[in-house]
Amino acid sequence: MKSVQHHYAATALACIENIKSTSLQQQQQYGSLCHRFPSMVMLNGLRLTVTFFSSDKGMRSQYLDDISRALNVNLRKQIPDEMDKYRLLTRQVLAASVWYKRYAEAILGVTQSDAVEEERDES
C-alpha cells in the first residue's frame, strides 16, 4: 500500500516530466510557480491563492490542475467552508507542493532564487 506522500511524489514527478517536454520559458514559469505557490498559500490563504491561480489560462492554471490531481480534489470547486476541513486541505496542499518544488529544482533546474528573479521581472 502506498503512503500519501508516495502518491504526492509520484503525481508530482509525472507532472514535472510532462512540463519537461515544453519550451524552456514554460519550464521556468512552471518551476517558479512550484516555488511561489506554497508561500502564497501561507501568506494569503488557500482560497485566495487558488482564486488567483484560477484567473490565469497559462502556467498558473496548469499548476493548479496538477496539484489538484495530486490531491484528488478539484481545488477550483471543492474548498470547504468548515474551518477544520479547510485547515486540513491547506496542510495537504502544502505537503503535496513540497514534491513539486523538489522536482522543479532537480528536473527543471529552477531554484528559489530563479523564482524570486522571475517575480521581480513580472512586477
Q: Is the dihedral angle over the CA atoms 25, 6, 72, 41 positive or is it negative?
A: negative
The pLDDT tens digits of the residues spanning 67-111 come to: 999 999 999 998 999 999 999 999 999 999 999 999 999 999 988
Cβ neighbours of 106 (radius 10 Å): 11
DSSP state of 24: H
Residue 117, pLDDT > 60, answer: no
Question: Is 3 exposed, middle or buried (CB count within 10 Å of its CB: 0-12, 13-18, 19+)?
Answer: exposed
| The model's pTM | 0.87
The pLDDT confidence band at residue 118, using thresholds 50, 70 and 90, is: low
Q: All domains of the chain, ordered by start, with CATH?
A: 4-122 (1.10.520.30)
pLDDT of residue 112: 78
